[in-house]
């Protein structure tokens, strides 16, 4: 990182979120505990969402971070039953004290027999997590502080910059003429982006959940309208919610994985995110592991909330994949789609925008 900041006076900022993700994977993965026949282990970091910056002004280095960390653990109960679950730390922030961290522990397909593993995580692994998190701020500064400061006496000796070459008349003429030609190398819009990650449990099999995302009939059911365009093949395009959502299928790995480009109509022209859906089959349910690269900064909350409403909640409601009791639309597979849409689904869902 090149600096032109005499005497370290001006504000300099460095985004360290990727380093933070790697840091938590290294420091938190592998923490474990056991008590008798019960054991538990942190297997991986599911997501690190939020902001993590190292800043410098007037010679002082500070950290500004506020992230949400989600971990996945596995364990064995007393009777030998395998247990999996997650630990969510809603806020890891620069002003959070060690004893102020909150840990939300969830067990997949929870039961009374699995309670011992949950207790082991809370009583024996959480203290290890607290200790590791307390070291984050100091390690962050140690790693990145020098990159945003000049060492004493090493600043630029002159504020004069090297002049840019003056364009000749021939080069100017060439630049002007090139504008009249169709550009095939026009630069993509420069958009600051973030990555979103989440894990969502559905009470169904992986093959059924996969079909929900690629079967035109099912897509029409949970979006409450026929898609404007939907070609479930690699390279095929889709357009949903009155063309408010558009994209293209890039990879279709049957019952296992879907990769697609994805954009909202009001995103910068030509900018697409990459949405990866992994279907992880469990014993009694399927975990949808979502990774969303390239979401424009400032759009993350809107995108996450709308996906939760118009994809996740609508799918669970339409097909009864996350609710107790039968779905209001559970018979959709037993009737003609046009007939079902005529019973209240023909209005379509309009993707909510926020101004």
State the pLDDT at residue 12: 57
Q: What pLDDT does residue 146 have?
A: 63
For helices 216-223 and 206-214, what crossing angle results, to 10°?
80
Helices (H), the chain: 17-28, 115-120, 126-134, 136-144, 169-178, 206-214, 216-223, 300-307, 314-319, 337-340
Q: Are 328 and 340 in contact (CB under 8 A)?
A: no
pLDDT given at position 147: 55
- 325: Cα within 13 Å, side-chain hemisphere: 3
3-state secondary structure of 306: helix
Q: Is residue 199 within 8 Å of residue 290, measured between CB atoms?
A: yes
Topology of the domain comprising 193-319 = Alpha-D-Glucose-1,6-Bisphosphate; Chain A, domain 4 (3.30.530)
> CATH 3.30.530.20 spans which residues of the chain?
193-319
CATH 3.15.10.20 intervals, the chain? 6-148
pLDDT reported for residue 322: 61
In this prediction, residue 57 carries a pLDDT of 61
CATH assignment of 6-148, given 3.40.50.720, 3.90.550.10, 2.40.50.140, 3.15.10.20? 3.15.10.20
- Alpha-carbon distance of 316 to 151, in angstroms, equals 57
Angle of helix 136-144 relative to helix 17-28, nearest 10 degrees, comes to: 130
Strands (E), the chain: 12-15, 32-35, 38-57, 60-76, 82-93, 104-107, 193-202, 229-230, 237-240, 245-253, 257-264, 273-281, 286-296
Contact 74, 40 (CB under 8 A): yes
The segments of the chain whose pLDDT lies below 50 read 1-11, 148-186, 323-348, 350, 353-355
Closest by CA position to 31, among listed 121, 108, 91: 121
Closest by CA to 273, choosing from 298, 240, 311, 247, is: 247
Residue 59, pLDDT score: 59
H or E element at residue 166: none
Q: How many CB atoms lie within 10 A of CB 115?
A: 14
């Amino acid at each position: 990182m090149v600096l032109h900041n005499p005497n370290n006076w001006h504000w300099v900022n460095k985004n360290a979120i990727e380093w933070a993700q790697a840091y938590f994977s290294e420091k938190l993965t592998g923490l474990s505990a056991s008590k008798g026949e019960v054991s538990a282990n942190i297997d991986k970091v599911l997501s690190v969402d939020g902001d993590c910056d190292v800043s410098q002004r007037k010679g002082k280095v500070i950290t500004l971070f506020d992230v949400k960390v989600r971990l996945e653990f596995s364990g064995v109960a007393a009777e030998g039953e395998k247990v999996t679950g997650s630990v969510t730390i809603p806020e890891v922030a620069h002003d959070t004290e060690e004893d102020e961290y909150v840990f939300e522990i969830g067990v997949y397909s929870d039961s009374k027999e699995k309670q011992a593993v949950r207790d082991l995580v809370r009583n024996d692994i959480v203290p290890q997590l607290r200790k590791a998190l307390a070291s984050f701020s100091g390690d962050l500064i140690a790693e990145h502080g020098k990159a945003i400061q000049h060492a004493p006496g090493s600043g630029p000796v002159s504020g004069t910059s090297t002049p840019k070459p003056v364009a000749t008349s021939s080069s100017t003429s060439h630049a002007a003429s090139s504008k009249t030609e169709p550009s095939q190398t026009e630069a993509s819009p420069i958009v600051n982006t973030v990555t979103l990650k989440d894990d969502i449990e559905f009470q169904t099999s992986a093959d059924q959940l996969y079909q929900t995302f690629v079967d035109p009939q099912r897509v029409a059911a949970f979006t409450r309208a026929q898609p404007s365009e939907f070609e479930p093949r690699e390279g095929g395009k889709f357009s949903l919610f009155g063309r408010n959502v558009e994209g293209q299928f890039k990879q279709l790995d049957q019952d296992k994985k879907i990769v697609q480009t994805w954009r909202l109509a009001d995103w910068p022209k030509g900018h697409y995110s990459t949405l990866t859906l992994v279907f992880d089959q469990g014993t009694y349910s399927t975990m949808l592991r979502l990774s969303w690269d390239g979401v424009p900064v400032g759009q993350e909350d809107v995108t996450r909330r709308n996906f939760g409403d118009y994809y996740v909640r609508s799918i669970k409601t339409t097909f009864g994949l996350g609710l107790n009791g039968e779905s209001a639309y559970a018979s959709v597979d037993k009737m003609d789609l046009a007939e079902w849409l005529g019973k209240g689904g023909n209005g379509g869902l309009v993707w909510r925008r926020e101004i």
